[in-house]
Homo-oligomer: A and B are copies of this chain.
Amino acid sequence: MHDEIQTPAVLVDIDVARRNIERFQVYADSHGLKVRPHIKTHKLPVLAEMQLDAGAVGITCQKVSEAEAMVAGSSRLSDVLITYNILGQDKLRSLVALARKVRLAVVADNATVVDGLSVAFSASGETLDVFVECNTGADRCGVASPQDAADLAGRIAAAPGLRFAGLMTYPPVGGAARVQAFMTEAKALIEERGIPVPAITSGGSPDMMSAHLAPATTEYRPGTYVYNDRSLVARGVCGWEDCALTVLATVVSVPAANRAIIDAGSKTLTSDLLGLTGYGHVLGRPDIAIDQLSEEHGRLRSDGDIGLKVGERLRIVPNHACVVTNMVDAVYALQAGQAPQRWPVPARGKIV
């Protein structure tokens, strides 16, 4: 299986990815929702272009350096939302430079971030779009209440160099009703102040097909949907045949009848569990559990004879596709009728 590729390797089935992209775009179009995919899952400018071709309005990035890498990789990526509180002189300088190249927006959930953005952008002569991040139950970032959202929106609207762009949330799974309630109330409070709310953006692949259940939402930011993974199969969002990203691994040892060791460990599959048991799904072998990873070894167990041979190759759907992309300098793109192509991953490791 793909003998020309050294293992472990990350494979991406481009035809499956395209189908995944188009499937959500059709859904979003039918509900009048704009799509702004989060590129953290693929970190590839060429796949972001494929998302634009399908109808996406722009991209979402999580860090400034990630946005820089994406923009450097394609002149077509000209509309970027960074869904992060940005702090620090170096990052603010990078942000100003980026704003001179593309249509840029960021989020903020506190006054310190807003004030830092305002100082940097008013000095630069540029104007930055800033969304208020709202906590709709995921308990990560985000202002705690619609009233707090309105207060911060007011601060942004009044801040030199900034423009209030709307409301953003990364909701908990099953959180559509809470998104709708929070956003409706926050929007009314902000509009009462005479400030328009141009956009309300939400995200998350697990619930993407329920985005219309929070109709206040104008834009959606799915990430994992482009590749899918074991966590989304477990949630019933897709099937194994919809998983575009797999890890190709070689059996390097069969030290016992019910145990085999592969050359992919936590440095490839990662230790992300996302609530699951085990570290991935061996395609075609639902009887096998990947029950332990060390950095370069994955341990496979079966109840009976595992029936694998040293040298045999397997394809594994990881628990979480996005973090696997981040582990490799390049992925191998598979397309019908073509030899696998090695694609460098420009936005890998962009943590600042």
Point out residues on A near B: beta carbons under 8 Å: 6-9, 40, 62-63, 84-85, 87-88, 90-91, 109-110, 112-113, 135, 139-144, 250, 252-256, 259, 261, 263-264, 266-268, 270-273, 292, 294-297, 299, 309-311, 322-323, 326-329, 349, 351-352
Task: Please list 29 pairs of residues, one from A and one from B, whose beta carbons are closer than 8 Å in the complex, sorted by A's number.
Answer: A6-B90, A8-B351, A9-B352, A62-B296, A84-B252, A84-B296, A87-B250, A87-B310, A88-B311, A112-B309, A139-B256, A139-B259, A140-B255, A140-B261, A141-B253, A141-B261, A141-B297, A144-B255, A267-B326, A267-B349, A270-B270, A271-B271, A271-B323, A295-B326, A296-B351, A327-B349, A327-B351, A328-B349, A328-B351
Most B C-beta atoms less than 10 A away, residue of A264, A273, A310, A329: A310
Known: A255-B142, A296-B62, A351-B327. A310 touches B270 (CB 8 A): no
Q: CA–CA, A328 to B351, complex, Å?
A: 8
Copy tally for this chain in the complex stands at 2
Q: CA–CA, A40 to B297, complex, Å?
A: 13
Output the nearest chain B residue to A133 by Cβ-Cβ distance.
B253
The answer to whether B88 touches A250 (Cβ under 8 A) is yes
Known: A87-B311, A271-B271, A351-B267. A109 touches B255 (CB 8 A): yes
A133 to chain B, nearest CB (A): 8
Output the nearest chain B residue to A253 by Cβ-Cβ distance.
B141
The answer to whether A252 touches B85 (Cβ under 8 A) is yes
Known: A87-B250, A250-B87. A295 touches B323 (CB 8 A): yes
The answer to whether B261 touches A272 (Cβ under 8 A) is no
The answer to whether A311 touches B252 (Cβ under 8 A) is no
Q: Which residues of B contact A272 (CB under 8 A)?
A: 266, 271
The answer to whether B62 touches A295 (Cβ under 8 A) is yes
Most B C-beta atoms less than 10 A away, residue of A87, A112, A255, A322: A255
Q: Which residues of B contact A266 (CB under 8 A)?
A: 270, 272, 323
The answer to whether B322 touches A349 (Cβ under 8 A) is no
Q: Which residues of B contact A270 (CB under 8 A)?
A: 266, 270-271
Q: Which residues of B contact A9 (CB under 8 A)?
A: 352
The answer to whether A135 touches B326 (Cβ under 8 A) is no
Known: A252-B84, A252-B87, A295-B323. A352 touches B6 (CB 8 A): yes
Given contacts A112-B311, A267-B351, 6 further A-B contacts (CB under 8 A): A8-B352, A110-B253, A139-B256, A139-B259, A271-B273, A295-B326
Output the nearest chain B residue to A264 by Cβ-Cβ distance.
B351
Known: A272-B266, A311-B87. A255 touches B351 (CB 8 A): no
Q: Which residues of B contact A310 (CB under 8 A)?
A: 85, 87, 110, 112-113
Q: Which residues of B contact A329 (CB under 8 A)?
A: 349
Q: CA–CA, A4 to B345, complex, Å?
A: 28
Output the nearest chain B residue to A301 by Cβ-Cβ distance.
B139
Output the nearest chain B residue to A299 by Cβ-Cβ distance.
B140
Q: CA–CA, A267 to B85, complex, Å?
A: 17
